[in-house]
Structures are given as C-alpha cells and as structure tokens.
C-alpha cells in the first residue's frame, strides 16, 4: 500500500547529473544495469524476491507457530488461499510495532504484528488481499524492477556481471529496503483494493473490513501512516468499497 513514483530513467538521469566525476565506464555500466532492470523477467523477479524475502526474514523476529499472531494469520490464510496466480504463498508475521504488510512475486506475504494489533481479522484479511492484489496484477514486478534498478545504479562502481547472482549482502539489503518502501500509483492502489474486494466476494467473505481498515490507517499519526501516504484519500477509498458493497458489484 505504497505510492510508486520512481522511474528507472529518472534515477539514471539523476546519477548522470550528479556523477560528473565518475569513471565513464561506470556510467556506461549504470545504463546497462538500468536497462537490465527494466527487462527483468517473471523468473528474475521471483529469484530477487526470494533473496530479498530471506534477507528480511533474517533481520526480523518471526512469530513462532504457537503465537496468537501466527494462529490468526493462519486462519486468514485459509480464507484467502495458498497461491497467487499459481505461485504458492507462504505467510509469516513479523513481531514489530510497525504497521505494515507486503507481498512479493515469489509468494512471500509478511504481516506486521503492529498491523494485527490495530485491526480485527476481517480488516487484516482486506489488507492482505490488497497486497496479494499488487502481486497478481503485476505491480510488485514493476516495483522490484525499480528497486533493483535504483539500487544497482547507486552501487554501480562495485557492481559486476551477473548482478542477480552476485549481489552482496549490503546490496541485497538495499534492494529489500527499497522494495518494502516502494510506493504504488493511485490507480494501482485502487486496482489492488478492487482485487481484494473481488477475491473476498468470490470466496463468500465479507469485504467490509477494507472500509474500516482504511479508516483505522487514516487515524494513525493524524493520517500520516506510511501505508496511506500519498495514496488516494482514505475517505474516497472507503466510499468506493462501500458503493461496491451497496451495488453488489
């Protein structure tokens, strides 16, 4: 639930403008890496996602199997299903006060305990369905391409061939951070909202948790929650879902 405004070309242009003293070979390589990022295949994105997810898992405290958080998420996972576009999903909870959730192209879905403390199961399900929508609709592929491109450009001086295979721990950490903090466009956010709504309706679930989850997120820090920053206004998103509930469509 993040607004995605970065573009590989813009990032490369900023580097060229601000790297006048950089070796010409390094600048040429930055262009190659940016192009490579734009051409990442679905398989490349799944590989990068698996590496990034493993990195983030190693950096966070994961709720154990007997945790109430895990048990709640397991129940929600049973409702939402075990795959996204045929890719198996694995769900885990990070024990942190942060309010966030995200999903990656390899089926990695992570929900923060801070979000689960704030929301009931119907609301968490709406949010997780939304994040799964970003994967199903191809938004996370674009976000990973940009995260890869901008992190590669920033570390161009030390990057070599076969970047995906040879990324260092620091480069991988940078990639993971950029992806988790990536933001999506308003149209992408609305499409992911609709995906969550449609999926829940198809499964016979109540999608009204989407409405109340927007309202709760909007109340965090005076509406400055990172999950809603620069997104379509929460009131507009809530009304959109309420209108769909009322129309039955």
185-188: long-range pairs with CB below 8 Å, 24+: 185/3, 185/4, 185/5, 186/3, 186/231, 186/232, 188/4, 188/134, 188/137, 188/139
- What is the distance in angstroms between the CA of the first residue and the CA of the last residue of the chain? 23
Positive or negative: CA dihedral 23, 27, 33, 36:
negative
Q: Is 187:173 a contact under the CB 8 Å cutoff? A: no
Which one of the listed residues 59, 131, 177, 189 is annotated catalytic? Answer: 131
Q: Which of 244, 142, 111 is nearest to 190 (CA)?
A: 244
Clarify whether 59 is annotated catalytic: no
Write out the catalytic residue numbers. 131
């Amino acid at each position: 639930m993040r607004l995605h405004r970065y573009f590989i070309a813009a990032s490369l242009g900023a580097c060229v403008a601000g790297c006048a003293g950089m070796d010409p070979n390094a600048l040429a390589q930055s262009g190659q890496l940016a192009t490579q990022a734009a051409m990442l295949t679905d398989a490349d994105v799944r590989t990068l996602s698996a590496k990034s997810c493993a990195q983030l898992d190693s950096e966070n405290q994961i709720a154990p199997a007997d945790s109430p958080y895990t048990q709640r998420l397991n129940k929600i996972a049973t409702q939402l299903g075990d795959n996204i576009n045929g890719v198996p999903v694995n769900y885990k909870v990070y024990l942190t006060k942060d309010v966030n959730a995200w999903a990656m192209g390899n089926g990695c879905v992570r929900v923060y305990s801070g979000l689960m403390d704030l929301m009931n199961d119907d609301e968490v399900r709406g949010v997780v369905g939304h994040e799964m929508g970003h994967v199903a609709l191809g938004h996370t592929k674009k976000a990973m391409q940009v995260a890869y491109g901008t992190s590669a450009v920033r570390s161009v001086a030390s990057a070599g061939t076969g970047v995906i295979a040879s990324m260092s721990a620091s480069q991988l950490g940078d990639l993971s951070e950029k992806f988790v903090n990536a933001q999506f466009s308003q149209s992408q956010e609305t499409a992911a909202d609709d995906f969550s709504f449609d999926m829940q309706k198809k499964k016979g679930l109540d999608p009204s948790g989407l409405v109340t989850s927007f309202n709760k997120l909007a109340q965090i820090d005076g509406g400055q929650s990172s999950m809603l920053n620069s997104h379509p206004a929460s009131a507009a998103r809530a009304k959109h879902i309420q209108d769909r509930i009322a129309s039955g469509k």
